[in-house]
């Protein structure tokens, strides 16, 4: 049985939900996806995100969802038990237990420590005042963005990469920003005096102020910081301080648990600590006396560890040749190996202040041992290789690095990538070579940066290699590729087919299964992914409502379990309450179930229902059975809620029966699958207590009938609803609602809310299809009625769903306590 197979799996626990640790998990899932029962413990309340791109979140060019690497659903789809907002406090190495701050203890056979690093907070008086933050997490970004709304002056302590990113972000938020740096030049670990000076000039031109060789001695103010006193006695007034003076390995958990620590957790060439079965990877470890803070070395370590844990024999990790390619405040910068003048080194330089280009190559004897590129980094990949190899300087190498030609003195990006060897690394973060990318372009039809990212991981982390990936595409595809043109957008990286092409092919070719669609349309990934499989399952069901048999394994895990997974691995159960109306007997049942199954919280939702939070997975079947109520589909891409006011049944202002109509709409359209979640509201008068203006389909009563509003959204992408039409009767209201829903079902992209769909399709087009053209409206109503006829009896209880019972006990979802 499956349960017995799961018992035989080794328990792999990862402490740390960041980029280094999750990269190991991703590689294990590719190499041996069935080998381990995996648990991930993360201290932040978020899934795995790209910490390198926090500066984009700070400046406002990206939001948190844009930098998420593995969404919550990914963990569930890969059967990973995930703890978020949970701290590992102690490792019992004898009992092989990780003890958490929530009181739980997690067993392990193999344990990976990937606790990352912490911002270095200067040990000066006042460092604990309000208004003083580090720059290492989403919370830090949120604190900084909040401060920018209320305060004017910011100071950033630290002139390294993190400090400059923070300073630029705060400047973009409208603050006056000063950068305080202890050294005589910016980014002294990557840049020489000339390039550092050019960077400072660029940033001063953008409005930043600098205090160089300034030592902070005290932060002033009472409860909140008001200024900085320097060692020379001078004072800088400020309302907000960001500490970005460096990072240090977060090795506290290991040290408290008796695992040997120096600066970081001590590991050998296979990331093993001195304790059997315990490993450390990433910024938290120390290997051969080195602690790395860049992504590429951490991924190199991860590749070794993943192979080791999968029973392979990897080559030992012997350390990394550190090179840094950055875009600091809009300026391209690269350094590798040695970059400072020193006795015994020869410096070859090109300095063009007008074009703001600087190149310096350092030789020991005649061997290339490092260099700095500023403004033109086209040859950064080859310089990194030549530095690692300590290649002998030749006329060809000199011409490539220092010679003329091209707008930047070093040739175009396309000519630069043409000159690269297939073995040259394009993406240092993920270790992707030119040859791998070219092979995918030529043999697998990759034609966009997004496709290359999907298949290789290139551009996924820091994004610094994106220009080179684009240059490879341009070189390989020639006239068929335009770097500035939008790539053909497939529904995911598994295909270049759009939603419209897929739907047309399903109809024209008579395709009737997910597998058939992927085979006929030549999916790049034969098994698809968690993005395209649910979409295909929806499109097939929408097109063939009478014939298609729902493919449960292609549904999201929440839909398979009829409950929403929470961050602690428990589930949220929402029984349906039509129109927000309940009864004493239903309330009694909910209370009894909540007590019996130790529900952590009963929450009144914004959709006028009760949410039972903290239900254990193994209790779900009994919970539904004893509730004896239909599911509220709080997890589904379907009708979630119909919010109502009391209407003319009770309210002295009510002109229409909002409760009756709301319940009628909810009972009629529940369980009908749609491209995305769908919310309704019905108001009995224009006072709008049920908030119809922020719903997918909102109805407002008046003395003469109903006003219908569509395309509203009260979530992340806030949008006020548009007036679709006015109707006089309940019958016409229901018909237009059905036609509108069916038109959305047939033309919406999977995952596209009506707020986005209305803007894409156009309100006039929708109005013509569902209101003005009576023949079109009637046809849409007939098709929605056909689809509704295939839907289960709305009073069918979830407890009778055999698929639920099967999925619960076959362990298709996240493991949890």
233 and 156 share one domain:
yes
Evaluate whether residue 805 is within a structural domain: no
- Whether the per-residue pLDDT at 580 is higher than 70: the answer is yes
Evaluate whether residue 575 is within a structural domain: no
Q: What is the CATH number of the domain that holds 427?
A: 3.30.390.30
Instruction: Please tell me which residue, 529 or 699, carries the higher pLDDT value.
Output: 699
644 and 758 share one domain:
yes
- Whether the per-residue pLDDT at 761 is higher than 60: the answer is yes
222: left (phi over 0), alpha (psi -120 to 50) or beta: alpha
From 450, 480, 510, the end of a domain falls on 480
- Average pLDDT in the 389-411 region? 72
- Whether the per-residue pLDDT at 329 is higher than 70: the answer is no
Evaluate whether residue 523 is within a structural domain: yes
- Per-residue pLDDT band for 770 (boundaries 50, 70, 90) equals very high
Evaluate whether residue 817 is within a structural domain: no
What percentage of residues in the chain have a pLDDT greater than 90? 63
pLDDT at 445: 78
241 and 256 share one domain:
no
- Average pLDDT in the 193-201 region? 95
- Kindly list the distances between the CA atom of residue 740 and the CA atoms of 307, 531, 745, 781, in Å, as whole numbers in the listed order: 53, 25, 9, 9
- Average pLDDT in the 570-574 region? 89
From 423, 450, 480, the end of a domain falls on 480
Evaluate whether residue 217 is within a structural domain: yes
771 and 722 share one domain:
yes
pLDDT digits (tens, 9 = 90+) for 480-521: 665 545 555 678 878 888 899 999 999 999 999 999 999 999
Tell which residue, 271, 208, 798, has the closest CA to residue 558. Answer: 798
- Whether the per-residue pLDDT at 359 is higher than 80: the answer is yes
Evaluate whether residue 809 is within a structural domain: no
364 and 438 share one domain:
yes
- Whether the per-residue pLDDT at 566 is higher than 60: the answer is yes
645 and 736 share one domain:
yes
256 and 237 share one domain:
no
Cα separation of 688 and 693, whole Å? 8
pLDDT at 794: 42
- Per-residue pLDDT band for 662 (boundaries 50, 70, 90) equals very high
Evaluate whether residue 611 is within a structural domain: no
pLDDT at 807: 43
Cα separation of 163 and 282, whole Å? 21
- Per-residue pLDDT band for 814 (boundaries 50, 70, 90) equals very low
Instruction: Please tell me which residue, 121 or 329, carries the higher pLDDT value.
Output: 121
- Average pLDDT in the 577-602 region? 93
334 and 393 share one domain:
yes
- Whether the per-residue pLDDT at 455 is higher than 90: the answer is no
- Average pLDDT in the 681-694 region? 93
- Whether the per-residue pLDDT at 804 is higher than 50: the answer is no
pLDDT at 815: 31
Q: How many independent structural domains does the chain possess?
A: 5
- Per-residue pLDDT band for 412 (boundaries 50, 70, 90) equals low
238 and 361 share one domain:
no
pTM to 2 decimals?
A: 0.65
Q: What is the CATH number of the domain that holds 29?
A: 3.50.50.60
42 and 142 share one domain:
no
Backbone angles phi, psi at 119, to 5 degrees: -65, 140
Is residue 349 within 8 Å of 192, Cβ to Cβ?
no
Instruction: Say if residue 724 is exposed, middle or buried (CB neighbours under 10 Å; 0-12, 13-18, 19+).
Output: buried
- Per-residue pLDDT band for 555 (boundaries 50, 70, 90) equals confident
From 517, 534, 555, the end of a domain falls on 555
- Per-residue pLDDT band for 813 (boundaries 50, 70, 90) equals very low
- Whether the per-residue pLDDT at 104 is higher than 70: the answer is yes
- Whether the per-residue pLDDT at 408 is higher than 60: the answer is no
Evaluate whether residue 540 is within a structural domain: yes
Backbone angles phi, psi at 238, to 5 degrees: -155, 155
Tell which residue, 579, 613, 576, 577, has the closest CA to residue 593. Answer: 613
- Whether the per-residue pLDDT at 799 is higher than 60: the answer is no
- Whether the per-residue pLDDT at 327 is higher than 90: the answer is no
Tell which residue, 585, 584, 589, has the closest CA to residue 573. Answer: 589
Least confident residue range of 197-201, 415-419, 583-587:
415-419
- Whether the per-residue pLDDT at 669 is higher than 90: the answer is yes
pLDDT digits (tens, 9 = 90+) for 272-318: 999 999 999 999 999 999 999 888 889 899 999 999 999 999 999 99
712 and 733 share one domain:
yes
Q: Where are the beta strands (DSSP E) in 631-745?
A: 639-644, 678-683, 697-702, 705-710, 722-727
How far out from the chain centre does Cα 51 lie? 10
- Average pLDDT in the 334-342 region? 92
Work out the number of other CB atoms within 10 angstroms of the CB of residue 33.
Answer: 12
pLDDT at 796: 45
pLDDT at 795: 40
- Per-residue pLDDT band for 529 (boundaries 50, 70, 90) equals confident
336 and 476 share one domain:
yes
Mean of the per-residue pLDDT values for the chain?
A: 88
User: DSSP for 719-733?
Assistant: BPPEEEEEESSHHHH
Q: What is the CATH number of the domain that holds 707?
A: 3.30.413.10
- Whether the per-residue pLDDT at 812 is higher than 60: the answer is no
Residue with tokens 């972000």: 169
- Whether the per-residue pLDDT at 174 is higher than 80: the answer is yes
Could you list the residue range(s) of the whole structural domain that residue 768 is in?
635-794
How far out from the chain centre does Cα 501 lie? 27
pLDDT at 112: 98
Taking each helix axis from N to C end, the angle separating 161-172 and 138-150, rounded to the nearest 10 degrees, works out to 40
- Average pLDDT in the 725-745 region? 96
pLDDT at 728: 94
- Average pLDDT in the 400-427 region? 66
- Whether the per-residue pLDDT at 195 is higher than 90: the answer is yes
pLDDT at 489: 63
Cα separation of 697 and 711, whole Å? 7
Beta bridge partners of 384: none
Which of 104-118, 455-469, 642-656 has maximum average pLDDT? Answer: 104-118
């Amino acid at each position: 049985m499956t349960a017995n197979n799961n018992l035989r799996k080794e328990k792999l626990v990862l402490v740390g939900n960041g980029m280094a640790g999750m990269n190991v998990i991703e590689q294990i899932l590719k190499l041996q996806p069935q080998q381990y029962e995996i648990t991930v413990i993360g201290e932040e309340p978020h899934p795995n995100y790209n910490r390198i791109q926090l500066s984009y979140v700070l400046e406002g060019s990206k939001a948190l969802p844009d930098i998420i690497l593995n969404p919550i659903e990914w963990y569930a789809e890969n059967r990973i038990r995930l703890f978020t907002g949970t701290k590992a406090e102690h490792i019992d190495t004898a009992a092989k237990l990780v003890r958490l701050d929530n009181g739980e203890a997690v067993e392990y056979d193999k344990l990976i420590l990937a606790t990352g690093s912490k911002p270095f907070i200067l040990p000066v008086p006042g460092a604990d005042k309000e208004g003083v933050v580090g720059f290492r997490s989403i919370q830090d970004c949120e604190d900084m963005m909040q401060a920018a709304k209320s305060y004017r002056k910011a100071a950033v302590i630290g002139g390294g990469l993190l400090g400059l990113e923070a300073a630029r972000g705060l400047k973009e938020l409208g603050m006056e920003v000063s950068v305080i740096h202890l050294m005589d030049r910016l980014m002294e670990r990557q840049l020489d005096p000339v390039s550092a000076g050019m960077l400072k000039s660029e940033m001063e031109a953008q409005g930043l102020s600098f205090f160089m060789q300034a030592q902070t001695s005290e932060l002033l103010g009472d409860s909140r910081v008001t200024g900085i006193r320097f060692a020379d006695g001078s004072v800088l007034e400020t309302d907000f301080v960001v500490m970005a003076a460096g990072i240090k390995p977060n090795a506290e958990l290991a040290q408290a648990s008796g695992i040997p620590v120096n600066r970081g957790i001590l590991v050998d060439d296979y990331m093993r600590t001195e304790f059997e079965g315990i490993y450390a990877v990433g910024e938290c470890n120390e290997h051969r006396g080195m602690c790395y803070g860049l992504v590429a070395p951490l991924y190199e370590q991860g590749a070794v560890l993943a192979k080791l844990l999968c029973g392979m024999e990897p080559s030992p990790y012997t350390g990394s040749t550190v090179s840094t390619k950055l875009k600091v405040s809009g300026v391209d910068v690269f350094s590798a190996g040695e970059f400072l003048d020193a006795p015994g080194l020869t410096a070859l330089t090109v300095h063009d202040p007008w074009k703001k280009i600087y190149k310096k190559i350092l030789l020991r004897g005649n061997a290339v041992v490092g260099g700095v590129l500023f403004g033109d980094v086209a040859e950064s990949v080859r310089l990194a290789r030549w530095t690692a190899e300590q290649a002998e300087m030749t006329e060809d190498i000199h011409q490539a690095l220092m010679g003329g030609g091209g707008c930047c003195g070093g040739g175009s990006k396309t000519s630069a990538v043409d000159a690269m060897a297939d073995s040259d690394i394009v993406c240092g973060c993920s270790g992707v070579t030119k040859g791998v990318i070219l092979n995918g372009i030529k043999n697998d039809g990759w034609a966009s940066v997004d496709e290359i990212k999907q298949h290789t991981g290139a551009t996924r982390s820091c994004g610094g290699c994106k220009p080179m990936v684009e240059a490879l595409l341009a070189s390989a595809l020639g006239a068929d590729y335009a770097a500035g043109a939008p790539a053909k957008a497939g529904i995911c990286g598994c295909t270049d087919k759009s939603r419209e092409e897929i739907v047309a092919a399903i109809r024209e070719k008579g395709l009737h299964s997910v597998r058939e669609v992927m085979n006929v349309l030549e999916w790049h990934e034969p098994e698809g992914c968690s993005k395209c499989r649910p979409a295909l399952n929806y499109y097939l069901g929408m097109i063939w409502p009478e014939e298609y048999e729902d493919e449960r394994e292609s549904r999201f895990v929440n839909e398979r379990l009829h409950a929403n997974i929470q961050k602690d691995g428990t589930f949220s159960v929402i029984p349906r309450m039509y129109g927000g109306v309940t009864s004493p007997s239903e309330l009694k049942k909910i209370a009894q179930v909540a007590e019996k199954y130790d529900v952590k919280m009963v929450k009144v939702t914004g959709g006028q229902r009760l949410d039972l939070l903290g239900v254990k997975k193994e209790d779900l079947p009994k919970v539904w059975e004893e509730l004896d109520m239909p599911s509220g589909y709080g997890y589904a891409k379907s009708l979630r809620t119909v919010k109502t006011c009391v209407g003319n049944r009770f309210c002295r202002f009510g002109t229409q029966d909002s409760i009756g109509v709301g319940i009628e709409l909810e009972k009629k359209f529940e369980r009908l699958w749609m491209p995305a979640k769908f919310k309704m509201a019905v108001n009995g008068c224009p006072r709008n207590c049920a908030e119809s203006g922020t719903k997918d389909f909102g109805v407002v009563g008046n003395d003469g009938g109903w006003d219908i509003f569509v395309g509203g959204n009260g979530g992340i992408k806030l949008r006020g609803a548009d007036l679709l039409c006015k109707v006089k009767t309940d019958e016409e209201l229901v018909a237009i609602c059905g036609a509108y829903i069916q038109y959305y079902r047939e033309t919406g992209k999977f995952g596209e809310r009506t707020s986005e769909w209305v803007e894409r399709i156009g309100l006039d087009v929708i109005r013509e299809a569902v209101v003005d053209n009576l023949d079109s409206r009637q046809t849409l109503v007939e098709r929605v009625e056909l689809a509704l006829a295939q839907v289960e009896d709305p009073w069918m209880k979830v407890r009778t769903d055999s698929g639920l019972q099967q999925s619960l006990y076959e362990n298709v979802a996240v493991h949890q306590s």
